[in-house]
Amino acid sequence: MAEKEVKDVAKKEVAKAKAKKPSIFSRIAAWFRSCKSEMKKVVWASWSSVRNNSLMVLICIIIVSAVIGLVDYLFSQGFTILGKLI
């Protein structure tokens, strides 16, 4: 008999916990509100900083691709010469 009462109390506590849980739509709305408030705290880079950094990245890409292309060309010529010797 006491076990049944304990189970009934536990079921009531679970039901209360479920009743207190907010709906999925209110949780989604709260998530969007928190995202909006966090986005207000973001410090965005200035346009000149973005432009300078982008230019630096493009220059580095061009230099690295030129070096890789040169190494590829040298290796292909080297293997061609080795092929003719054999």
- Do 27 and 38 belong to one domain? yes
- Do 50 and 84 belong to one domain? yes
- Do 7 and 38 belong to one domain? yes
- pLDDT, one tens digit per residue, over 6-63 is 667 667 776 666 667 788 999 999 999 999 999 999 999 999 999 999 999 999 999 9
Angle (CA) 53 57 62, round 5°: 150
Residue that is written with structure tokens 């189970």 in the block: 7
Q: Domain containing 78: what range? A: 45-86
The contacts of residue 30 (CB under 8 Å, 6+ apart) are 22
The number of distinct structural domains making up the chain is 2
Here the tokens at position 3 are 């076990």
- Do 53 and 82 belong to one domain? yes
Smallest CA-to-CA distance from 28 within 36, 20, 19 is with 36
- Do 37 and 60 belong to one domain? no
- Do 53 and 86 belong to one domain? yes
- pLDDT, one tens digit per residue, over 34-47 is 999 999 999 999 99
Residue that is written with structure tokens 């061609």 in the block: 80
- Predicted TM-score (pTM) of the model is 0.54
Here the tokens at position 2 are 């006491």
- Do 53 and 22 belong to one domain? no
- Do 83 and 54 belong to one domain? yes
- Do 33 and 55 belong to one domain? no
